[in-house]
Structure 1
Amino acid sequence: MAPGDTAMNARTGIGAALEAEVVIERRGGFRLDVALDVAPGEVVAVMGPSGAGKSTLLEAIAGLVRLKAGRVRIGEQDVATARPALHTRPETRGVALLGQEPRLFPHLSVCENVAFGPRARGVPRAQARADAGEWLWHVGLPGLGDHRPSELSGGQQQRVAVARALAASPRLLLLDEPLTSLDPETAGEIRGMLQAQLAAAHASAVFVTHDAVDAVAVASRLILVEEGRVSQEGDVRDVLAAPATRFAAAIAGVNRIEGVAHAGRWRGGQTCPDVVIEGQDAATATDEGAPLVAVFRPDAVRLERPVEPTWTGAMRALGGEVEANTWLSRVARLEQTPAGVRVHTSQPAVAVDVPTAAVAELHLTAGAPVRLRVAPSVVRLQPGG
């Protein structure tokens, strides 16, 4: 057991349940309508495209935005209801909101920053400073209590912000993309620290993030919010394994193409009716013509240039033949990735990972015809909707 664990855990109030039904209306017609439950000690990740309403959801729970309808209940207490009108002040909700910026008090030492919450609750100065020292130890910053925030790196400042948030003993911790502004190595270190400290404190938390790695490493459940509504939710790995929307597929790092069931196989819609894909399990349980989705990884697709360099020439060479799991497409755009290049094709929209050298060798440019192949063994067929 780490130094001070017993005393620290006895003094924390972390771990309250959250029940939230948040309805917010903005100018321009945007409406956020999201229900969110968090069990005591549970970490729930929230992901969604920019503008989906993720930060607004946290602001409503924290009390920075008033509800149009619904309610927010933390522990056994309603802190916000639309009818009858109730809006508990943010500072009395027992909620800590941590964003991309640490927002430390520049005139206070690191130790004083961490001790600020306990001191505001009336904890004696000596005890608050002792607790602050323990929290700094927990987040990997022992011996830096006398430094000013300006003397620390960005990653160290964010660690202090985490320590300050947990030291305040919030009933609920709200994390609004706290790792976004950090370099990958520092973000990875703080992600691991967050996972360890949230688990050790048995903290209840809502973690808004744009990175699926955060959800996998820190949370047990994942909620996807698109256009102000929940589009999918469940166990993190279940959501990523069976994405229900294109956004979900994008964060899971897989292709998800919509079509219809035809003779136990996937068949493209009006834009690509000649594309047929077999999966590892035949879609025999899906009614003929019913919506069907094919899911496969970008690195599982083989890409080659047809002998004929033009689209009409390549189509003529096919002679109207349809071969399952092989189809002709066009390059839509190229995207640099750490491992090479992701080639995005159209009709159907599919991403393919290829080595950088292959882009030049194959003369891949926007509009160029390409032939794609994917083995049935790497394709999962799922009912659409």
Structure 2
Amino acid sequence: MHTNQVYIELDTANNEPHKWWHRRWVKIIGIFVIILTIFAVILALMLNFVIFAPNKSETSTTIATSSSPLTTTTVSLVTPTTTLPRTTATMTTQQSEPTTTSTSTTSSSTSSLSKSTSITTTSTTSSTTISSTASTTTSTTTTTAIPKWTMTGNMSVARYWHTASTLANGFVLVAGGYNSHSDHLDSADLYNPSTGTWTATGNMSVGRQHHTASTLANGLILVTGGLRGSSLNSAELYNPSTGAWTITGNMSVERYHHTSSTLSNGLVLVVGGFNSIGSLNSAELYNPSTGTWTMTGNMNVARNSHTASILENGYVLVTGTWATTGSMNDARHDHTVATLTNGSVLVAGGSNGTFIKSAELYNPLTGTWTTTGNMHVVRRDNTISTLTNGLVLVVGGYNGYFLNSAELYDPSTGTWTITANMSIARGYHT
């Protein structure tokens, strides 16, 4: 070690710049390390939260069932839960209501991401949660069948004022009637619903119109009375197994425009009608076991072109006498009547000097009549049928013109709704 003071001071002065550069270089390296650390932290954050962030997943599931639609109605988020004499025949189809339902569900995943980064000079902890709410959209499509008419095979002979009876084998027997060519008809046709075709069957012994036909408990068809130039009292039986007619006992009174009803005991009650004397109040009973007729109590009022209904309790004839019940609100003839599923009786349309569109209900428990909604069209000599769903279908008729219109009565609301028209206008049909 030097002891010379001057040398020491000179040496110190000479080394001072070196020490200064050494300290400056340490600072530069420290600043550079800090900058690199900041860039590393930023890069790590970008990698974690931007580049490698998990994407939202979507899953779409579709469930669909379909049937052949007729007319579709779409509801979202709410689940709603159909004449001159002619040889033609028209069939109405009560179709089921197919339903097509599609469900679409979109779901988004929920994820949670937590990362921690530690550096010597800086410590940073970051936590983030990425979440989304799953959404579900449901749409329901309900297909409602529209009632429609379909043409089917023609009868072999044009006719009106005939009768139609459903046989035990499902065939339909049409007998007698009238046309402008052959006068009063004795011919009969059978309709096969499976093929939609008609086949001629055995002829009646006597041509007739305005007669009645009743299905007996043994499956035979009883035809009574009618008109052939003059009123008839004859009756005959059709046997579906042989296709032949046989004469049975004559009624005590000639009559047409009468009614016949098969009672629960198997007897057939014939009531009222018209003959050369005028309107009739007489009634008689047919016994299928003996083939004979017996007079029973007269009605209180003579009538023809009326209707007869067997009530839910089976009452039509009580102790051989007739009791007056409540009068209808509107007098009428050539009207139609249907027994409803609740036991009430619906009378609709007809004529009383003018054509009528009014309808009323008879309550067998109280013996009273109440008015219900009017039909949309005045008509008489139409047909009326109680459908399996409880609605009542009125078809065709006459109001100065033969009609092809049809309407449905809803007993639950007491209202009528127009439904599909027949292809051909007709009246006095079955």
**Higher percent of residues as helix:** 1
Based on CA coordinates, which of the two structures has the bigger radius of gyration? Answer: 2
Larger RCO (CA under 8 A, 6+ residues apart): 1
TM-score by length of 1: 0.21
Task: Answer 1 or 2: which has greater strand percent.
Answer: 2
